[in-house]
Structure formats: structure tokens, C-alpha cells
Structure 1
């Protein structure tokens, strides 16, 4: 069994879904401090005109600086769902798959919850269901018995993979530096890394491609089959 572990991002970029597609089990990792201006409660889409990007965001309630991701609450002070829907409306004029992408967004926002982790996991399920990607997801806090505190950051993945009986662990290649391969080999766990080519696609903005946007943008300009192909076929796994 191959395991991947990531923090629960809001409507993340295409490479995040490549990681899900590469794993047999996906662990939502939320026992660490929430960082403002990260990807837990926001992501990027195109601005009207397509020359730049803008953020779509879920407002979070006031909290202590040391609050963990799993304890972050969604603010009830604004109609943030309507704002996000309004921000994507400009795609209607030039995105060939606006209709299906908007339906996926509406399904994502249909959940009634005040927990950011629950919202984000629901969004992952909705997108994966639409793309026919298997998502066997488990929350970190559901792993029993509890995971021991690691001596360094790379051991979180080691301890989790070992506890749930993984034969291999896969991580985005950009995080390679935090791991000690010998620790994994000593546990009989194969350590692997994934990259995704993130091949440019037409955003109907005169060729000014903006990479790394939310999966929503990919879905606006690519069919379900094309998007799935970019997720599954454009990823490379190495040791």
C-alpha cells in the first residue's frame, strides 16, 4: 500500500490531485499550527481579463496564533459562498467548460459546516468523484493508537506510514530535503517522490499562461477526461 500525506488545502492545484491519484491511501494531516496566508482557506483563480490571478478565500473565525489546523473554524460573518461564486462568474464568457466546473464548485459549497478541515475534505471528495479518482482518505486524528511525537519534521510521514502498514510513502518532490531515506528503509518502507509537469493549457488570455492555479481553473478550460489525463499521465514518480 502506498500512502501520501498532505495538509487539507482548499480547492488545491492540479499537482495535489496527482498525489492523491498516486496513492492508495491519503492522510489528511492537520495537527500542526494554522499559518495565515497559506493554502488551508484560500486558493487562486484568474482575474477577469486573464492577465493576473486573484484569491478565492473562506474567511476563518478569530483564533489564537497557535491554533491547530484541525481546530480552525469558518467565520459566519460574511456570505463567502456567494462571493466565491461571483468571482468565478467571469469565466462564463470565455471558458468552454464553465458549466461543468461551476456545478462541481456548487457541489463543493453545498456542505453546511463550520470546520475548515471538513469543508476541504468534502471539496476533495467532490472533485475526485467528478474526475473518477479513488480517494481513500483518513484523518490524522483517526489513526490509533496515537502517533508518537517525531524528532524532526520528516518523521511525521515515517511514523504515520509505519503505523498504518504502508509499503511505500510518496511525497511531492519539493519536500525531498526533510526526509532521511535510511529511516524509511530501516522500517521496510519505500520512499518515493512525485513531480507533475503542469503542462500549460489555453486559458483564453492571449497565451499568458498562469500556472499553479486552483483545480477550478483547470476544469474551466479542460474536459473531465483532459483534466484526469493531466493528473494521471503527467506525473512522474521517482525514488
Structure 2
């Protein structure tokens, strides 16, 4: 008897700057990530900022923010980077913070090249850093921009249309999405929901500054080939119906 082929899972997420570890924990068993670059940019979102470790801080974290030039209502793929030397500042901070991490020498050259590149649009920077981290983690995941798929609708309708366009029968989301997903729209499309959570396992014993919510670069530089095992240890999935 031929084994049943697992249903294709859609993971769709806004592009993020040096994404946090939970971002990648959703991608351990999928072949594709749809970057939602056609949706509205959020000044308070994670598209242009994230946390690195800082042992001297109260919460052991420091925030790196990429300055952008944007207009209200602008989509992420339209947002341009500010014309100021933010990349040099970020690189100096990263090098100061992680130069002694065990796997800094392994990844330094490629990461340095990314920060030496003159980026014009935020989405291009985010995608390049996400690709760098996927490669470092050993995750073979294609990156597809939603703007290239031109999905119809907003929120649930948009995600349902992405499922249709990608042939997906499962939609993997975080807990926060359950508050707005429309169960009837997804059910009509034959799509079920997988809820992904991440529990931040401790790692890099003996090194100061570990904290939950750090970006995935931190994990990669301290754990190297073991980083993906840390992601697996903290990842949880359950099938759940959206709130009606």
C-alpha cells in the first residue's frame, strides 16, 4: 500500500530583520516560506528591528533597529532604508557582542558581506539575512514573496487564497493569529490550522547573557550545527480551530 502524502503546509510570515528563533522553528519540516511583503509595514513590528544579547542590560537584551523612510499605509516591499550609516553601527555592535562566540569565525565572512552591501529596500535586506540564517541552520526552505503571487483579499481571505495558489491544505500560524482567523472561510477551502509555539530552550551554557526572545543569529553563533536541535526541542505544533 502506498503511504499517504502529507498535506502541504503554508507558512506565511512578514519579513523580519534578523528573525527570532521561533520564526525558524515553524520551518523545520516545510519546503517553502511565503514572505508577506505586500502587506502594510508596521512601525512597531519586527520588520526592521530585533533583539541581540546584552549581558549588561536588565533583561539581557539590546535592540537593533534599521532606520527606514516610509509613508503611512505603505507596503513592506515599498519601504526604503534611510540614507545613514546604520549598517556600520549594527556591524560594530554584532562584532563586539559575538566575536568570542564559538561559531563567529564560521559565519563572519558571509555576514560581513551582507552588512557591507548597500541595500535600498528593507525587504531585500530582510530576505538576504533570512536566507543566510536558513543556510546556517541547514534548513532547505524556498523563499517566495507574496507580491509575486498577488493573493486576493486581506487577513483570512488572503491566507486562504495563498493556500489555494500554493496547493496547501494546512495553514501554520502563531497563537496570535487565532484571534482574527475566520474558521468558516478556511473550512470552505478545506484548510485546517496548525498552531506553532516555541518555548526558548536554554543553550550556550557558561556564556553570559542568554535570554528568551533573542534572534536566531545568537543561537547559530553559539550552537552551530546543534542550533537546529535546539529549535526542535522548543517547537510545538497542535491542530486547532480558529475562534468563531
The normalised TM-score by structure 2 is 0.84
Alignment correspondent of 2:152: 148
Contact 2:17–2:46 (8 Å) recurs in 1: yes
Task: Give 2:202's match in structure 1, choosing from 200, 203, 206.
Answer: 200
Q: Secondary structure at the match of 1:193?
A: strand
Q: Secondary structure at the match of 1:154?
A: helix
The 1:193/1:108 distance shift into structure 2, 3 A limit, reads: farther
Partner Cα distance (2:98, 2:182) in 1: 47
Partner Cα distance (1:91, 1:211) in 2: 17
Alignment correspondent of 1:91: 97
Alignment correspondent of 2:227: 227
Contact 2:53–2:62 (8 Å) recurs in 1: yes
- The alpha carbon displacement at 1:198 in A equals 1.3
Q: How many residues align?
A: 231
Q: Where in structure 2 are the equivalents of 1:7-46 lying within 5 Å?
A: 7-46=14-53
Partner Cα distance (1:160, 1:222) in 2: 34
The 1:212/1:49 distance shift into structure 2, 3 A limit, reads: same
- The alpha carbon displacement at 1:234 in A equals 3.0
Q: Secondary structure at the match of 1:138?
A: strand
Segments of 5+ residues of structure 1 without an aligned counterpart are: none
Alignment correspondent of 1:176: 178
Note the aligned Cα RMSD (angstroms): 2.3
Partner Cα distance (1:46, 1:235) in 2: 21
Segments of 5+ residues of structure 2 without an aligned counterpart are: 1-7, 240-244
Partner Cα distance (2:96, 2:117) in 1: 24
Contact 1:8–1:28 (8 Å) recurs in 2: yes
Contact 2:102–2:221 (8 Å) recurs in 1: yes
Runs (4+) off by over 6 Å: none
Contact 1:28–1:139 (8 Å) recurs in 2: yes
Alignment correspondent of 1:212: 213
- The alpha carbon displacement at 1:212 in A equals 0.6
The 1:50/1:101 distance shift into structure 2, 3 A limit, reads: farther
2:72 matched to 1:65?
A: yes
